[in-house]
Amino acid sequence: MKDDNVERAGRIDTATLSDALDRLGIAGQCLGIKPLSQESRLVGRAFTLAYAPVGPGGTVGDFIDDVPAGAVVAIDNGGRPDATVWGDILTMCAHRRGLAGTVIDGACRDTHLALGLGYPMYSRSYSMRTGKDRVQLEATQVPVNIGDARVGPGDILRGDSDGVVAIPRAREDEVLDVAEGIEAAEARIRALVESGVRLDEARRQQSYHLLQRRDA
């Protein structure tokens, strides 16, 4: 099904979306979450999962068949580097099901398959150490924390070579409108510079230093 705002977000880079979030006072930057490959790009609505530490008997969860095509899996594992919650079997399933990618506040493993398939993977780290018997899937489709950003089910996640931003569903029209305005202003600056105008003057004309400011 066509999703106009997901398509709009996919046409805007994360740097511009970050400026729009700043302008609106929304903490949507998923700080510390990095792409496995600099070629990675993702956009889609979040399917969220929350993990918690456990003793023996924990399971990393069998959720993948419930995630709709085009969604981004967003996993909150508290930033843990010592218990991975995503590996090659999940990558294979996600790729086959047409998911848009995976974002983890924590660690993934079996990175070779994600890289080989070109599957968009964003995480705080990667490791070989399993999460089985170390973490437990606690809840699905609940608000989670991803790199200091609060992500709710259905929020838009946009990732590129700079990282990931989260756009709250309740304010996505507003964020995208502002981001498109910033993008247009920056395009005008480039055009002015290419026509021979000094950069400082081009930026002054387009109020460049105010584009991300909340009182702009």
Q: What are phi and psi of 140, to 5 degrees?
A: -120, 150
Find out whether 25 is annotated in a ligand binding site: no
Q: What is the distance between the alpha carbons of residues 138 and 47, in angstroms, rounded to a whole number?
A: 14
The verdict on whether residue 64 carries a ligand-binding annotation is no
Helix (H) or strand (E) holding 49: strand 42-53
Is 162 annotated as contributing to ligand binding?
no
Query: In angstroms, rounded to a whole number, what is the distance separating the alpha carbons of residues 152 and 69?
Result: 18
Q: Is 169 annotated as a binding residue?
A: no
109 annotated ligand binder: yes
* Nearest alpha carbon to residue 36 among 100, 97, 116: 116
* Backbone φ, ψ for residue 88 (5° rounding): -65, -35
- Amino acid sitting at position 100: A
Provide the annotated binding site.
87-90, 109-110
Provide the annotated binding site for Mg(2+).
110
Provide the annotated binding site for substrate.
87-90, 109
